[in-house]
Chains A and B, each alone.
Chain A
Amino acid sequence: MPAAEAPLHNPLTWLSYLVLLALADGPTHGYGIIKEVERRTDGRTRVEAGTLYAAIKRLREQGLLSPVGDASGSRRRRDYELTATGRKTLRLESERLEGLVDVARAKGVLPA
């Protein structure tokens, strides 16, 4: 997949953000991502396998994540990790969200 120096994709979709965030601790496989997302959202968000892998394909094409190890390895249980671009995008997106939360605080939507 051609993915070398993709531009930064801001803002990210909600699902992409969750997937990238799930990988922030380190590489894991598809099911690991599903469980991590579920845990971090207190069980409110359960990503289906079919949806997840469509997202993984897209994020790979955008160069935000990549499979760990060489491509010839077993494909039954491949771990994914954030690329440098992915980590940067995640940071930028988090800052963007933080900025929005600040606005919400300023407007009294959230307690200061």
Chain B
Amino acid sequence: MSRLPLAYRLALWLYPAHFRAEYASEITETLLAVEREFATTSAIQRQLRRWRESVAIVRAAVRLRRSGGTPDPHRGSKMETFLTDLRRAARALVRTPGLTLSIVATLALAIGANTALFSVVQAVLFQPLPYPDADRLLFVWQELHNREADYYPSAQADLVDYANAEAIEGIGGMWAFQQPLVDADGPAERVPAAAVTANFFTLLGLEPVLGRDFGEAEAAPPTADGAPTAGSVIISYELWQRRYGGDPGVLGRALDFGAGARPIVIGVAPAGLRLHFPQVAEVPERIDAFVPMRVDWSAPDRSGWYIRTFARLRAEATVAEAQAQIEAVNDWQWEEFPIYANAGTHTYVAPLQQALTASARPRLLALFGAVGFVLLIAAVNVTNLLLVRATRRSRETAVRAALGAGRVRLLRENLLEAGMLAAAGGTAGALLAVLGVRALVGLGGAAVPRLADARVDMPALLFTLVVCAAVAIVCGLAVGARGARPVLLETLRGRDGLSGGSPRLRRVLVVTEVALCLVLLVGAGLMARSLATLLAADVGFEPENVITFEASLRGAMDDGTPRDVQDRLLERIESLPGVRVAATTTSLPFGDGGMSAPYGTAAEVDDGDEFDFRQASLRKVSTGYFEALQIGLDMGRTLRTEDEDRAPPAQFEFPRDAPVPVVVDRRLADRSWPRTDPVGEHFFMKMGGGLWMEVVGVVDTQRTLGFEREARGTVFMPEFGSSRLHVVVAADRDPTAQSAALRAAAAEVDPRIVLADLRPLAAYVDDARAPTRFATILMTLFAGLAVVLAGVGLYGVMAWTVRCRTGEIGLRMALGSSRPAIWRGVVAQGLGLVAVGVLFGEASALVLTRLLAGMLHGVSPLDPLTHAAVPVGLGLVALLACWFPAWRATRVDPLEALRAD
């Protein structure tokens, strides 16, 4: 807070020099004190105070200059003229309030919208990640081409293999989970945690602010006998502050993770540490507890693919080199280990930032394009409106010029007016930008990575201000130069309007505006249609009136198997009034990804190679799950209690001769048994000790990975009892009101059951739609803005045309033209311009909307409905814009009009 806001610094320059010399530094100091005082108040109060202070400075400056005391009389008189001109310009602007407001509003909207969106683009796409040399951080992932699995994690062995790539300085990984924390320092809670390789912080370029980083001890492989070691943990700065009061004594203490795990705190991570992994990686931004991942580097595990991997590029290496070397490693893996060839693995590296923003990038760039169009339309509009202004005042200008007002002075007045318009528009625009960024952050929320960090980007604001001011001033000057032309006899004689070129110029402006507007509208229309398709997409279940929570039964298991506790819990919940049915699942649709594994049909297994295996999601659910989520049954039956009653397998293994009964979704059934009845078919899932399964029923396709990703097959398996699961509760009405009742019910069954994430299922589905909705809302907003601006522009031109043609219209009426004929003539002229604009716009839209293809779901960029409806809609707006001028034309009094000529 050592710098004074720009407004103050500018205002201070208005003081007379002698006053400034004496008091400026003191006033600065005082204003800084005021700034500090108001720093903690609301933004509105702060801005109000700044406004008051600035006005006071300006007023005092004017008074000081008036009261004289300036030693330099020449300077004073110049100032006096300037102030007179300023007053005259202000009066001139106030005299035409509608026009002035239109121009200021156009400028403000353009500046505000443009700056706000640019600020967001800057924060999301270009702001470097908050790690040292962040551009050298790479995200590493696999695509399993034979399994239709994208953005897949790696195995421990992959980290070892990849480390051979010379372009890579270091490689590390992590996997995230929820960690119960049950020590006495606070309430029992579950914190986001991650198992990380020992080099995790080094790779990111970070160091603990307290204590030490993971080292040799943590990098060591697990002991042969598998005995639990004490273990280490690095906690987040936030957890340290929140739970341990920032006590440095936390170092060396053992935390209680429950179940006998008591790791020692060896360090505290830097404050505000955020992990920025792509959303598909399902790594939360905040991690509160980091524990070392035990890797046996001599014989690393090659079968469990669960590690999210990232690497640091050598300073002199390129991403392409790293990619090529990793691919070579990949080829070697294919030859050595069948599992890679079977899955069809391809490993990719990309700069972390690029991977992070890959999903948001096309949307933001499209929006950026849209906002650019708005800026263009605004510029056209301002030009247009300034022309209208000048026309209105052409006679006054001509009279003054004729009476001897200097050309320079007339020019200067025009410039001043344009400057004042630009200043007013700029101020309002800057304010809009601040509000706009805030609105965007609120609207986009978690849907866009890093959006929360967006602030108004000063260079962007300045750039937009300069562009808009330049438009206003250049137009003002151009118009002024025309007006200041000494001989304007035509005008003085009463023939309103400007010389020959102008009407054509103005028509070109309107056509341009309509064309730009149409492109924008078609884009917005397509995206709105796409959103509608997305919102209507069948996800395969009914999320309404279902509330979910995660339950940890660990503590309650002393008195029975998890299965018993689970049954008692579901029974108790179902006895609550209004509850239809309660069920459990291992993962929620649209929640975290859950388990998935490759599977093959019996025939494919007998072929002996796993090349044809596909990836499927695996969910363990209780029998009521299908009823709770109203999942439609296509064939066979859903799960029954007796399916669950099979003894829980010790090694999570079902042999071929005793398969577990499962329900699969339509997607999986169609792909595996396209021609035969899937019920009764056997298949194998490569997980745990190997799972043989028998299809007993087929349900509707479950689209649970997200709206923009292809559905993957889903397998529902009976729940034999887990210590941690998600509970879904279907009610007759909105169940959010029952949160308290649910907690009470759980506590009644066993107070040691821990509930977390009590949330409607619909909220998860909603989150998945958020990115598309965010982009669509913005696009619609910009399109709406464009329509308003185009409408205003068209109105301005038509009103002006009617004014210019008053004489002609009067003459026609005198000669017997009817009012409807006059009306039709004016409207036809307006619509003619619009038609030309639509033609150009449609031609551009057909080309430009192809760029949107990647963001559209279920709608072609050439969607005939959109391309047809938009011109019609735009035509209606145009009709509206012509209506009033046309009506005015019919009110022309022939006598008056002819007399004036």
Contact = CB atoms under 8 A, between A and B. Distances in A.
A49 B25 contact: no
Contacts of A17: none
Contacts of B64: 54, 57
B26 A30 contact: yes
Contacts of A57: 19, 22-23, 64
B27 A53 contact: yes
B56 A49 contact: yes
A49 B34 contact: yes
B29 interface: yes
Nearest to B22: A57
Interface in A56-85: 56-57, 75-78
Given A49-B34, A51-B59, A57-B19, A77 B27 contact: no
Given A31-B34, A76-B25, A78-B26, A50 B59 contact: yes
Most buried by B among A30, A52, A54: A54
A57 B61 CA distance: 12
Given A54-B63, A75-B25, A49 B30 contact: yes
B38 to A, nearest CB: 11
B63 A30 contact: no
A49 B60 CA distance: 10
Contacts of B63: 54
B53 interface: yes
A76 B23 CA distance: 9
A27 to B, nearest CB: 14
Contacts of A53: 23, 26-27, 30, 60
A74 to B, nearest CB: 9
Interface string A83-94: 000000000000
Given A48-B57, A50-B60, A29 B30 contact: yes
B33 interface: yes
Nearest to B33: A31
Contact of B29 (A51, A54, A77): A77
B22 A34 contact: no
B60 A54 contact: yes
A112 B55 CA distance: 42
A4 B849 CA distance: 79
Contacts of B25: 75-76
Contacts of A51: 56, 59-60
Interface string B36-77: 000000000000000011111111110110000000000000
B777 interface: no
Contacts of A46: 52
B534 interface: no
Interface in B605-634: none
Interface in B1-25: 11, 19, 22-23, 25
Given A50-B60, A51-B56, A54-B60, A31 B23 contact: no
Contacts of A77: 26, 29
Nearest to A31: B33
Contacts of B28: 76
Contacts of A75: 22, 25-26
A49 B63 CA distance: 15
A31 B56 contact: no
Given A75-B25, A76-B25, A52 B30 contact: yes
B29 A76 contact: yes
B101 interface: no
B434 to A, nearest CB: 23
Nearest to B64: A54
Contacts of B53: 48-50
B280 to A, nearest CB: 54
Nearest to B36: A31
Interface string A4-25: 0000000000000000000000
B30 A34 contact: yes
Nearest to A47: B56
B31 interface: yes
Contacts of B33: 31
A22 to B, nearest CB: 13
A53 B15 CA distance: 11
B29 A56 contact: no
A49 B31 CA distance: 7
B10 to A, nearest CB: 13
A70 B23 CA distance: 15
A56 B26 CA distance: 11
A49 B57 contact: yes
A48 B56 contact: yes
Given A48-B57, A57-B22, A30 B52 contact: no
A51 B61 CA distance: 9
A46 B30 CA distance: 13
A49 B59 contact: no
B60 A76 contact: no
B29 A31 contact: yes
Contacts of A50: 11, 27, 53-54, 56-61
A57 B18 CA distance: 11
A56 B30 CA distance: 13
A53 B18 CA distance: 13
Contacts of B57: 48-50
A20 B30 CA distance: 18
B54 to A, nearest CB: 8
A42 B47 CA distance: 22
A49 B27 CA distance: 6
B33 to A, nearest CB: 4
A30 B59 contact: no
A30 B22 CA distance: 14
Contacts of B31: 49
Contacts of B19: 57
A75 B20 CA distance: 12
A50 B59 CA distance: 8
A81 to B, nearest CB: 15
Contacts of B26: 29-30, 53, 75-78
Contacts of B11: 50
Interface in B740-797: none
A12 B811 CA distance: 69
Contacts of B27: 30, 49-50, 53
Contacts of B59: 50-51
A30 B56 contact: no
A54 B31 CA distance: 14
A34 B11 CA distance: 20
A34 B38 CA distance: 14
A104 B42 CA distance: 42
Contacts of A34: 30, 34
A77 B26 CA distance: 6
Contacts of B23: 53, 56-57
A49 B64 CA distance: 14
Most buried by B among A30, A46, A49, A52: A49
A56 B55 CA distance: 18
Contact of A30 (B29, B58, B60, B61): B29
Contacts of A30: 26-27, 29-30
Most buried by A among B31, B56, B58: B56
Nearest to A54: B60
A31 B19 CA distance: 18
A101 to B, nearest CB: 30
A22 B250 CA distance: 52
A30 B11 CA distance: 18
B3 to A, nearest CB: 15
Closest 3 CB pairs of A and B: A48-B56, A50-B57, A50-B56
15 contacts: A48-B55, A49-B34, A49-B53, A49-B57, A50-B11, A50-B56, A50-B57, A50-B59, A50-B60, A51-B56, A53-B26, A54-B60, A56-B23, A77-B26, A77-B29
Interface of A: 29-31, 34, 46, 48-54, 56-57, 75-78
Interface of B: 11, 19, 22-23, 25-31, 33-34, 52-61, 63-64
Given A48-B52, A57-B19, 9 more contacts: A29-B29, A29-B30, A30-B26, A30-B27, A49-B57, A50-B53, A50-B56, A50-B58, A53-B26
